[in-house]
Amino acid sequence: MFGFDIPENFNKPYQASSISDFWRRWHISLSRWFRDYIYIPMGGNRCSIPRHIFNMLVVWAVTGIWHGADWSFILWGLGYFVLLIIEKYAPFMKNIGKHWYDHIYALFFVNLLWIPFRANSLSTAGKYISGMFGANGLGVIEEKALAFIPFVLVASIILFPWNKLFDKFSSKLWFKIIKGIVVLALFGLAMSAVVNSSYSPYIYGNF
């Protein structure tokens, strides 16, 4: 909004078609730091398969610990370690990212792993996950959950790769004007939401 040209840190991560693709898009600066200062110095993937698996294990264990000294964060990191190793070495994963349903696979596990990341303990994460798979029965949807449906619908629409369509019109004056108006409107809505919300501390102050 202020005209600074800084490196892109998130590149439409929820359009990812695999877990490895997700981490090429999500928190790019953090991924690069772990790659450059831990993964590559340990040997990266230019080594034997057992050594590469060990390198990945260390990187993702450290990634979990970096977010917080709690088993739920470590579980989150190790979950990605397992998925990335499967994508790398499992024969049935050699064509991952080439089909439309690969997006569903990626979103499923990314959202599943957000649960231990956000939960305050492993037991809480376990309750949420078991409840999602029907352990608490199929009761009436609470009113609080229904309130999120419009946001889910909007998010689902935004997930589509609209940028490919917009790139065709990016040089048109009318498109630049509409884009500017939309960005300013969204900025105003975001500022209104911040002003009207309760105190929300900087999320990385917890890590």
Whose tokens are 């352990």? That residue is 135
CA-to-CA distance for 178 and 184, rounded, in angstroms? 10
**First-to-final CA distance of the chain:** 27
CA-to-CA distance for 76 and 114, rounded, in angstroms? 7
- Judge whether 76 and 65 are in contact, CB under 8 Å: no
Q: Which residues contact 119 (CB under 8 A, 6 or more apart)?
A: 72, 125, 128
Helix (H, G, I), strand (E, B) or coil at 137: coil
52 is a catalytic site residue: no
- Judge whether 102 and 18 are in contact, CB under 8 Å: yes
User: What six digits make up the tokens of 71?
Assistant: 């088993």
Q: Out of 52, 67, 99, 103, pick the active-site residue.
A: 67
Identify the DSSP state of 91.
Answer: G
CA-to-CA distance for 119 and 64, rounded, in angstroms? 13
CA-to-CA distance for 19 and 202, rounded, in angstroms? 27
Return the active site residues: 67
